[in-house]
Amino acid sequence: MNRKSKGKVYVGMSGGVDSSVSAALLQKAGYEVTGVFMKVWQPDFLPCTWREERLDAMRVSAHLGIPLLTWDFEEEYKEGVADYMIAEYKAGRTPNPDVMCNKEIKFGAFFRRAMKEGADFVATGHYARINKQQTTNNKQHGAMETGLSSVVSCKLLVGVDDTKDQSYFLWTLGQEQLSKTFFPIGGFKKSAVRALAKKFALPVAEKKDSQGLCFVGKLDMKDFLAHFIEEKEGSVLNEKGDVIGTHRGAYFFTLGERHGFTVTKKGTDDAPLYVVAKDFKKNTITVAPQTRSDLECASQELRAEQASFCSGAIPDTTKKYTAQVRYHGEQYKCKVTTVNENSFTLKLEKPAVFDAGQSVVLYDSEECLGGGIIE
């Protein structure tokens, strides 16, 4: 960890390999580690898995000889993640629940409670890195110097394993959170994390990775939403306005999406079809057989609200950055044209397909500067 002083670290432990190895690495580095299993809301129509996950977290904690606490964030998750996601889809937008899960739960409710209970730091199994630099400044009171103050400046960096990097989901973190957070596995490839799990003889060393919605797991988003948003069959249109198929409801789709609708009248080339327009009043979606960058709904300009800059500074309008509008999506060269503490606009060097509600995240080389919600 390359830190001169050790302290108490509360580690969010899900029962998976990544968080388990994180706890083991921190313990090996000399920190006083406490595991915390976060219990959150799960819909009653999905398999209940939290008891099995907590059992795995208990096994790992017993193996490491550390305490494991169980904290209930069911209400916070339901309101801040699930209800938010459903409301956004009902409004015709495409939210990113994993971003909200990090903001409201892992670095919201969990972070606040850990600090309140005496933790010096928190840690999670995210594939990202934090570069912490300590600087010393002169304190002044009026015209008089009163001593020295120590300030920690943090940079959020991408994970070493670019196939697992999760910095896209962490753009809402601020300097205070970053200064008190560890991402112990961010400097490792996934294969190395697996090897460490075996080296530490962790009970979950062979456990498969969890995928899907944060805490809930793998699911079909349209099936999930159908429990909260009434399905209404609508027409799939081609670019000429002809009806060529059906869908379950325009609210379930994202611009640029190429799955989830049924085409009954196919052409001779059978090229992949992408959603290029949505009409919520008529409950129709329009599809076209074009590549993602050539879609008629692609744009070179976007505006983002609810901005948060984890770098601690507003981006420079004279510099070139890269922007990412979906997890593991293409990074687009861009310039920030206008910016303040709450919003910004971007000019992309080439057209991109994005939808209102999605997160756009800014990068300066390996550093994640922050992001916002696309309007």
- Token digits for 332? 């687009």
Distance CA 153, CA 193 (A): 28
pLDDT digits (tens, 9 = 90+) for 145-179: 545 446 689 999 999 999 999 999 999 999 999 99
pLDDT at position 132 is 92
pLDDT number for residue 20: 98
What is the pTM for the complete model shown? 0.89
Residue 154: active-site member: no
pLDDT digit string, tens, across residues 12-65 = 999 999 999 999 999 999 999 999 999 999 888 888 788 999 999 999 999 999
CB 323 within 8 Å of CB 335:
no
| Distances 306 to 146, 229, 311, 371 between C-alpha atoms, Å | 38, 25, 15, 8
Q: Where are the domains of the chain?
A: 8-199, 230-294, 299-374
- Candidates 113, 122, 29; CA nearest to 71 is 113
**Which pLDDT tens digit goes with each residue over 47-56?**
878 899 999 9
CB 263 within 8 A of CB 244: yes
Pairing of the two strands 121-123 and 181-182? parallel
Return d(Cα 105, Cα 12) in angstroms, integer: 11
The angle formed by the CA atoms of residues 62, 68 and 74, to the nearest 5 degrees, is: 140
Closest CA to 187 of 47, 59, 374, 2: 2
Per-residue pLDDT tens digits for 248-298: 999 999 998 888 999 998 765 678 889 999 999 999 999 988 755 566 788
What per-residue confidence (pLDDT) applies to 136? 61
- Burial of 29-61, coded b for 16+ CB within 10 Å and e otherwise, reads eebebbbbbbbbbbeeeeeeebeebbebbbbbb
Alpha helix ranges (H) inside the chain: 17-28, 50-64, 74-77, 84-90, 97-101, 110-116, 175-179, 190-199, 221-225
Note the pLDDT tens digit of each residue in 87-126.
999 999 999 999 999 999 999 999 999 999 999 999 999 9
DSSP string, 95-162: --HHHHHIIIIIIIIHHHHHHHTT-SEEE---SEEEEEEEEEEEEEETTEEEEEEEEEEEEEEE-S-T
Compute the distance between CA of residue 127 and CA of residue 125 in angstroms, rounded to an integer: 7
- Catalytic residue from among 154, 214, 310, 334: 214
Residue 124 CA to residue 185 CA, distance in Å, equals: 9
Going by C-beta distance under 8 Å and a sequence separation of 6 or more, which residues neighbour residue 220? Answer: none
CA pair distance 210, 14, nearest whole angstrom = 10
Output DSSP code: residue 29: T
How many angstroms separate the CA atoms of 359 and 172, rounded?
10
Query: Residue 63: CA atoms inside 13 Å, Cβ hemisphere, count?
Result: 20
The mean pLDDT value for 231-252 works out to 93
CATH architecture assignment, domain 230-294:
Roll (2.30)
pLDDT of residue 3: 46
Cβ count within 10 A of residue 167: 25
State the residue for tokens 């069959």.
Answer: 233
Question: Are 288 and 276 within 8 A, CB to CB?
Answer: yes
Which residues sit opposite 263 in a β-bridge? 245
State the maximum Cα–Cα separation within the chain, in Å, rounded to a whole number: 81
Cα angle, residue 324 at apex, residues 323 and 326 outer, rounded to 5°: 160
Does 101 participate in catalysis according to the annotation? Answer: yes
Query: Please, which contacts does 46-49 make with residues 24 or more away whose CB atoms are closer than 8 Å?
Result: 46/216, 46/217, 46/219, 46/224, 49/217
CATH: 3.40.1650.10, 3.30.830.10, 3.20.20.210, 2.40.30.10. Which one for 299-374? 2.40.30.10
Q: Does domain 8-199 have CATH number 1.10.10.10?
A: no
- β-partners of residue 123 are 11, 182
